[in-house]
Structure 1
Amino acid sequence: MIDFAPLIAKLAEGPLAPWAELLPQQVADGMAVERWGDLPDWQAVLEQLPGLLPSHIDLKDSVTIGDDADCDEATRKQLREVLMGLHPWRKGPYNLFGLHLDTEWRSDWKWDRVAPHLAPLKDRLVLDVGCGNGYHCWRMLGEGAQRVIGIDPSCKFVHQFYAMKHFIGDCPADVLPVGIEQLPEGLQAFDTVFSMGVFYHRRAPMDHLRELKDCLRPGGQLVLETLVIEGELGEVLVPEGRYAKMRNVWFLPSPDTMLSWLRKCGFANPRMVDFTPTTVEEQRPTEWMTFESLPDFLDPADHSRTIEGHPGPIRAVFLAES
């Protein structure tokens, strides 16, 4: 069982105190076995992890925990079998004691595109919305963040994060099983707020932007990464059916439209700092994620189109200040 009590106690002492009052019930609801039938299996994975001590940890240039010399081949095989109990692994990659955990997404590529443009994260309080298994939370900590809080309603992803923390040890990074709508209104506490790969899943995009702004302290920085389309100001793709086989894709704006929405919601100095088509090298099935992936979502004869005929996925990164 993941013990969130020490984290909640720490948060109660600072600017997140209003949220800390709500967190015990939010965490209980998010980790309820009635909601997640496989929860006992995920908890068992954490209990079965071997007690390995890494000789070194790198969160700056990768997420690397230990090396080959820190365990024998039999223990490494055991580690692989245990971690497979949390399949599918979507965000990564991770390197643990010589085991390469090759995830569906090359999330390190995204980080390499985002990181050069950020206000320095050193000593900042950071929120990562929809963080998945928290891969980017580790990279934020590697950049010197004072504390990183990731939130994601998927309980399996939360357990994937704590599988890594089992080996990394006590550090100011955590992932909570909640959604952004559960944060108190008017919190205005975080120095940097990330929303990467979330915006197009929201039915009410303006509400999401206001929720993000509500989390930021005055002058704090928003980092928003989302699917976009090529087009002029005012152009938005609203798929009637699926987009790349995803049911829950609502709004794909053009970059100028996204910038306009950010201004409309009160953000200062919005700008686009990256515009990159997603390729089948960046998102693909692996032994750690054996389900369908981007190669199955695109037109096999034309990777510039989705299988439904929509423009292929392009992801853009936007920055703005509150």
Structure 2
Amino acid sequence: MTKPESAWFNDCYKSILDTPLAHWLQTLPAQMNEWQKSQKHGEFDKWCRLLAKIPTTTPSSTTLVDEVRIGSADDIDQYTQKKILGLLQQFMPWRKGPFHMHGIHVNTEWRSDWKWDRVAPHISPLKDRTVLDVGCGSGYHMWRMLGCDASRVVGIDPTQLFLIQFQAIKHFIADNRIHFLPLGIEEMQPLNAFDTVFSMGVLYHRKDPIQFLTQLKHQLRKGGELVLETLVVDGDAQTVLMAGERYAQMRNVWFLPSTDALTVWLARLGFENIRVVDKNFTTLDEQRATEWIEGQSLKDFLDPEDITRTIEGYPAPQRAVIVANRK
């Protein structure tokens, strides 16, 4: 029996065949074959069976420009809507979004649309560009990139639940310009081919940030654009915070540089036209617990007596967007 992921990956191979990414086909199919043989999350097969049960619909409209909204409640009957809702709830927690499908509001933990609104005005137009989203999560920003008329959007993220969430949304939007691959950046060969590479909310999770930035660079063509969004701290070009065991209750946070330090890193690695285009503190309205995550969120990770500090005493999450070009 053919596994559903085989069809997902084959569609990706076909879509890049006659593009600047064609040389990726020398290694990618073998990688994905190995991935299919590897140990999966204990729920993965169940998630795939649930995906197959999502009803096929005919959305009256789809918009990806200002939001991700698919159809309306009037497109389907109440039974079908309840069935879709119940199936999507099986793929919780939903972290990045929101998504609107046939009157169902997937009210994700993060208002990722707010982040996109901060990023989008400062980047080169994505029309006809080949785009890579590194650490793409459920793929929310990928859909917004497609809404900007990118010619091809590829997202990579090793988290299998995110792959399932992406495919759940793609079930309603049949578009062969957008694909998700369960890879980490360390598994990518240097493609030197993407026009734009996004990395949003990943750098601080990496033990070796310099290696990670180098890996991002090697996915870009010369002159291509890096869009980097990450946690930062205030300070000068020598300021880098390395948290202890936890930062805002997260165990996997390593280096939080100042924007000046990050600019030095990028320049040393061969980027130019480096500019900090946005800085802001994450608010309790942008990241919060909802019925789609069933757990704690930012409010629980800050000092209840002083929300400018994390519960461990570090500066509260401040995020910056840096845009740069590969020399």
TM-score, normalized by the shorter chain, greater than 0.5:
yes
Q: Would you identify which runs of 4 or more consecutive aligned residues in structure 1 move more than 3 Å?
A: 28-33
- The RMSD of aligned alpha carbons is 1.2
Q: Any idea what the Cα deviations from partners look like across 1:162-212, whole Å, max 9, x if unmatched?
A: 111111113301111001111112x21000000000000111111111111
The structure 2 residue matched to 1:169, chosen from 166, 174, 178, is 174
Summarize the alignment of residues 295-314 of structure 1 with structure 2, pairs less than 5 Å apart: 295-314=299-318
Q: Is the 8 A contact 1:131 1:152 kept in 2?
A: yes
Q: Aligned pair in 2 of structure 1 residues 28, 280: CA closer, same or farther (>3 Å)?
A: farther
Equivalences, count: 321
Residue equivalent to 2:148: 143
- Greater shift, 18-27 or 69-78, is seen at 18-27
Residue equivalent to 1:319: 323
Summarize the alignment of residues 227-306 of structure 1 with structure 2, pairs less than 5 Å apart: 227-306=231-310
Q: Distance in 1 between matches of 2:215 and 2:224?
A: 14
Alignment of 1:217 with 2:208, yes or no, is: no
Residue equivalent to 1:111: 116
SS in 1 for 2:161: helix
Q: Aligned pair in 2 of structure 1 residues 29, 277: CA closer, same or farther (>3 Å)?
A: farther
Q: Distance in 2 between matches of 1:254 and 1:141?
A: 31
Q: Distance in 1 between matches of 2:176 and 2:109?
A: 26
- Greater shift, 2-11 or 22-31, is seen at 22-31
Residue 206 of structure 1 aligns with an amino acid whose one-letter code is I
SS in 1 for 2:171: helix
Q: TM-score under structure 2 normalisation? A: 0.96
Residue equivalent to 1:35: 40
Structure 1 unaligned regions, length at least 5: none
Residue 198 of structure 2 aligns with an amino acid whose one-letter code is F
Q: Aligned pair in 2 of structure 1 residues 315, 29: CA closer, same or farther (>3 Å)?
A: farther
SS in 2 for 1:81: helix
Q: Distance in 1 between matches of 2:71 and 2:226?
A: 33
Q: Distance in 2 between matches of 1:204 and 1:16?
A: 27
The structure 1 residue matched to 2:84, chosen from 79, 87, 92, is 79
Q: Distance in 1 between matches of 2:37 and 2:303?
A: 40
Residue equivalent to 1:5: 10
Q: Distance in 2 between matches of 1:218 and 1:170?
A: 28
Sequence identity percentage: 52
Q: Is the 8 A contact 2:229 2:321 kept in 1?
A: yes
Query: How far did 1:9 drift?
Result: 2.8
Q: Is the 8 A contact 1:125 1:148 kept in 2?
A: yes
Q: Distance in 1 between matches of 2:139 and 2:212?
A: 20
Q: TM-score under structure 1 normalisation? A: 0.97
- Greater shift, 21-30 or 218-227, is seen at 21-30
